[in-house]
Chain A
C-alpha cells in the first residue's frame, strides 16, 4: 500500500516534468534533457552564491581552529531558509490535495497517507538543503582535503538536515492548517500566516551578509553561543568536520524529531483535511441583479480565482506587494537612498545616467517573480469546459488572464517606477519613460507567461501547488523574466552611456512593447486555437 501511495505521489511530481498534458504523451528525451539543463543552470547559479558566501567565511574560521563552527553556522542557515521557505507550501501538500476524500474513503490508514506526503515534503526539502549545504561542503573539502570518512559524514548530515527541515516545515504547515481551520476566512488566514514566513525569509536572506560579518567579527562569542544555546548544531558542526559520534548524535536527534512530528501530525490529519473552517453563513436575499459586459465578467472571474486561492495569491502576487512596499520605503528613505547611490557611483566612477536603468532592472527583476499569467490556463483544470462551451471567442478569456496579470503587476510597477523616478530626481521625461518601460516589461512577461502556459498546460492536477509552483510554464517564465530583464537593463546602460537615460529607456520600452505586442498577437491567433482545443 505504502509503495502504491508513494508511486502515486512521485508520479504526480514527475508528471509535471515528464508528461506533455497538451499532447497527452510523454515528453521527448530532448525536452526532458532541456529541462534538466535549465534546472541545473538554476541550481548552479544559486549554489554559486552560497559557495561565495562559504568562501568568504571559511579562512577566518579555520584560522581560529573552529571548523565545526563553519558547518554549524551554515547548518543554521540551511534550517532557516529551508523551513521558512517551504512552510506555506507544506500546508498545501499535507492537507489540500483534491484527492483527500477519495484517499480517506479507501482502506488506507491516515497515518500512512501522512507519511507519504511527508516524504514528498522531504524530497522538496532535500533540494533546498542540498542547494546550500553542497557548496559549503565543496568549499571546505576543496580547501582542507579532509579524510574520506568526513565527506561521508557530511553527506549523512545533509540527509539529517533534510529530515530536520522537513520536521519544522511540517510543523509550521500543521500550525497554519490548525489555525486556518479555526478561522472563517481560510484564504486570508493562510495568506497572512504565509506572509509572516515570507517576510521572515526575506529578512533572513537580505541580512545574511550582515550576519556573516558580525559572525566573523566575533567568532569567540559565536562559538560560545552555539555551545550554550545550539548544542545540536554544535554536534552537526563537529560531525561534518569529521567526528563520528557527534554526527550520529545529530542524526539521531533528527530521526527522533521526525518520528515525534509524524506522531503529532497523524493525530490531527483527518480533522484538518476535512475541516471547512468556521463557515460564516450568508443568506441571499434577492434584489435586482446588474448586467455587465463579457470582458468585465471574465476579468472578475480571474480576479476572484486570484484572490480566492492563498497559494496563487502568494506565488503570483508577492512581487506586487514587494514593489508597493519598496515604493513606500523609497519615499521614506529618499535621502539615504540618494546618499548610497552617490557613494556607489563615485566609487565605481560612473555617471548618474545609469541610475534610471538600474531602477528599471530592479523593477523588472521583482515584477518577473510574479508569474500570474503563467499558471492561469492550468488553473482552469476541471472547469475548462465552461469557457469552452460558452459563446465567447477563445481569445477573450486569454485576454482576461493577461489583463489580470497587468492589473496585479503593472500598477505596482508603475507606482514604484514613478516613486523611484522622483526620488532619484530623474526628471519628468525620464520618469515617464521609466514608468512606460517598466509597464511594457510587465506586459511582455505576462504575455510570455500566458504563451508558455498554453504550450505547457497542466490541467489534471490534484493540488493547486503543482501548476502554480511546479509547472514548467512558471519556471520558463521566471527564467525569461530574469534573463530578459538583465539583457534589457544591460542594453539600456550601454545606450545611456552615449545617448542619455531617457533615450535608453525609450529604446528599452519600444523593444519590450514590440516583443509583448508580437506575443499578444500570437496568443490571440494561435493561442486561442490551442485554448479551444485543450482537454
Chain B
C-alpha cells in the first residue's frame, strides 16, 4: 500500500529524514514512534505531498507520488498533529467541502456524516461554526473528514491527542475496520501502550533514521515496547 524508499528530507544543514525505507501492506496498522524532532511528522508530510522529498521515492497503492501526486492524494487521508481546520465554516459545511474535493456522492456523504457523527457524538454540533468547537471536537471532525471519502491509506499524526476515552476507543475500532477492509493505517504516537496494543507493525525512528521496524514481536521480543524504545533511544 505504501512504499517509502531512501526518503531524505533536509531543512538547511539538518537532515530531518535520512534515507528512510518503509513498506506498509494492505491490512496493516503501522505505528511510527520516536522522540520529539526525530522526523515522524516530516515523514508523514512527505508522504501526503505537503513537503517535497530531497531524495527517495514514495509510492502509494502502486502510484508514484512524484509522478502523479493528485492520484496518490485521492487514495489517502491525513490528520495532522494539530487540527487547524477552517474555523469560518460550520462542521457540516466543512465535511461537505472535503467531500466535494474528493468527489464523494451525495448518498455516500449523507450516510457517512450520519454514521461517524453519531459514533463520535458530534452530529448535533455539526451546524455550529468550527470556531466554537473544543480541541477534542475539532479532532473528531478532522477524523470524520478523513474517513468521509473512504480512503485506502490513512496517515495520522498523534491522532489520540485531545480525544476522550470513548472517542479514542471508537477511533481504534474504526482503524481496525479500515484494515479489515483491505486498507492501511500509518500513524505516529508517543503513547507506547496504544502502539503496543493496536499496531500490527511498528517503526522506530531516531534523528531521521529508521533504527528498528517490523512486527510487534520482532521489535520488542519479550520486553515491553517502552523498554525497547528507551533502550534504543539511549
**A interface residues with partner B (beta carbon < 8 Å):** 276, 279, 281-294, 296-298, 300-301, 304-305, 307-309, 381-383, 385-386, 388-393, 532-533, 535
B50 close to A385 (CB less than 8 A): yes
- Closest beta carbon of chain B to A494's beta carbon, Å: 46
Closest to A296 in B: B100
B50 touches A393 (CB 8 A): no
Separation of A301 and B8 alpha carbons in the complex (Å): 34
Least Cβ–Cβ distance between B188 and chain A, in angstroms: 15
Whether A284 pairs with B127 at a CB distance below 8 angstroms is yes
> Which residue of A291, A301, A391, A533 is within 8 Å of B86 (Cβ)?
A301
Distance in angstroms from A305 CB to nearest chain B CB is 5
CB B117 to nearest CB in A, in angstroms, measures: 8
Cβ-defined contact, B50 with A389, below 8 A: yes
CB contact between A386 and one of B52, B85, B93, B132 (< 8 Å): that residue: B85
Partner of A391, one of B45, B73, B93: B73
Chain B interface (Cβ < 8 Å from any Cβ of A): 45, 48-52, 70-74, 78, 80, 82, 84-93, 95-107, 109-110, 113-114, 117, 123-128, 132
A305 CA to B93 CA in the complex, in Å? 12
In whole angstroms, what is the CA distance A297 to B125 when docked?
A: 22
Residues of B within 8 A of A532 (CB): 49, 52
Interface centre among A300, A304, A532 (most CB of B within 10 A): A304
| Contact assessment for A284 and B49 in the assembled complex, using a CB-CB cutoff below 8 Å | no
Nearest opposing residue in chain A for B78, CB measure: A389
A291 engages B109 (CB within 8 Å): yes
How close is B39's CB to chain A, nearest CB, in angstroms?
A: 15
Q: Is the interface of B mostly helix, strand, loop or mixed?
A: helix
Known contacts A289-B113, A383-B84, A535-B51: A284-B124 contact under CB 8 Å = yes
List of B residues within 8 angstroms of A386 by Cβ? 85-86
- Which of A293, A305, A382, A383 interacts with B100 by CB under 8 Å? A293
A-B contact pairs, 11 of them (CB 8 A): A282-B90, A289-B96, A289-B109, A289-B110, A290-B96, A292-B100, A382-B84, A390-B98, A391-B102, A393-B70, A532-B49
Query: Are the C-beta atoms of A281 and B101 separated by less than 8 Å?
Result: no
CB distance from A297 to the nearest CB of B (A): 4
Q: Nearest Cβ in chain A — how far from B44, in angstroms?
A: 10
Kindly provide the distance from the CB of B150 to the nearest chain A CB, expressed in whole angstroms.
14
Q: Would B127 and A283 count as touching, CB distance under 8 A?
A: yes
CB pair A390–B73 under 8 Å, yes or no, is: yes
Q: Which of B82, B86, B123 contacts A304 (CB 8 A)?
A: B86
Compute how far the CA of A290 lies from the CA of B96 in the bound complex, rounded to whole angstroms: 8
Separation in Å of the A510 CB from the closest CB of chain B?
A: 35
Point out the residues of chain B lying under 8 angstroms from A287, CB to CB: 110
* B234–chain A nearest beta-carbon distance, Å: 32
Smallest CB separation, B215 vs chain A (Å): 29
Q: How far is the CA of A306 from the CA of B76 in the complex (A)?
A: 29
Closest to A293 in B: B100
Residues in A with CB closer than 8 Å to B127 are: 282-285
With a cutoff of 8 Å between Cβ atoms, the chain B residues found around residue A309 in the complex are: 88
Q: Which residue of B lies closest to A187 (CB)?
A: B88
Chain A residue numbers with a CB within 8 Å of B114 are 286
Q: A284 near B125 (CB under 8 angstroms)?
A: yes
Q: How far is the CA of A385 from the CA of B74 in the complex (A)?
A: 15
Instruction: Name the distance in Å between A535's Cβ and chain B's nearest Cβ.
Output: 7
Contacts of A293 in B (CB 8 A): 100
Chain B residues within an 8 Å CB radius of A388 = 48-50
Beta-carbon nearest neighbor of B107 in chain A: A288
Q: Known A284-B124, A284-B127, A289-B106; judge A390-B50 contact (CB<8 A).
A: no
Report how far A89 CA is from B168 CA in the complex, Å.
42
Instruction: Indicate if the CB atoms of B97 and A301 lie closer than 8 Å.
Output: yes
B128 touches A281 (CB 8 A): yes
A294 touches B100 (CB 8 A): yes
Q: B101 touching A389 by the CB < 8 A rule?
A: no
Closest to B101 in A: A390
Please indicate the chain A residues that have their CB under 8 angstroms from the CB of B74 in the complex: 391
Q: How far is the CB of A301 from chain B (nearest CB, A)?
A: 6
- Name the contact of B88 in the complex, choosing from A276, A288, A304 (C-beta under 8 A): A304
Whether the Cβ atoms of A305 and B50 lie closer than 8 Å is no
In the A-B complex, the 7 residue pairs with the closest CB atoms: A308-B88, A297-B100, A284-B126, A391-B73, A382-B84, A282-B127, A284-B127
Query: Quick check: A288 and B106 within 8 Å, CB to CB?
Result: yes
- Taking a contact as CB atoms under 8 Å apart, the answer to whether B106 and A291 are in contact is yes
Asked whether, in the complex, the Cβ of A392 is within 8 Å of the Cβ of B93, the reply is no
| Complex: A389 Cα to B48 Cα, angstroms | 6
Q: A279-B128, A282-B90, A289-B99 are known contacts; what are 11 more A-B pairs with Cβ within 8 Å?
A: A284-B92, A284-B123, A289-B95, A289-B106, A294-B103, A305-B88, A385-B78, A386-B86, A388-B49, A390-B101, A390-B102
B56 to chain A, nearest CB (A): 17
User: Distance in Å from the Cβ of B60 to the closest Cβ of chain A?
Assistant: 11
CA distance A284 to B94 in the complex (A): 13
The answer to whether B51 touches A291, judged by C-beta atoms less than 8 angstroms apart, is: no
